[in-house]
Amino acid sequence: MTACTRCLTSYPNKLVTQMFVNGRYTMVCGVCALIISNEVHGTRRRKFDGEQAELMRQRALAWRRGTKERS
């Protein structure tokens, strides 16, 4: 398990990825990656245009729902 450095939620390793933010690499989930991307680019996207990135975001959302149901 790896924690997203932004939301601090722990995910299976395959659901977090490196993202270059503020001059360094950090580990983020797909949900936070979209938030960061919107902040950096001044956009308000609700989902990623790229298929792989959007799949990672959807899987992170599913994981969050699953962990909340188990709690």
Domain region containing 39: 2-70
Quote the number of domains for the chain. 1
Q: What is the pTM of this model?
A: 0.86
Specify the residue for token string 């950096």.
40
Tokens of 18: 């490196």
Q: How far apart, in whole angstroms, are the C-alpha atoms of residue 21 and residue 19?
A: 6
Mean pLDDT, residues 59-64: 94
Q: Average pLDDT for residues 26-53, to the nearest whole number? A: 96
pLDDT of 67 above 80 = no
The strand pair at 24-29 and 10-11 is best described as unpaired
Tally of CB atoms within 10 A around 19 = 18
The DSSP code sequence of 3-27 is E-TTT--EE-GGGEEEEEETTEEEE
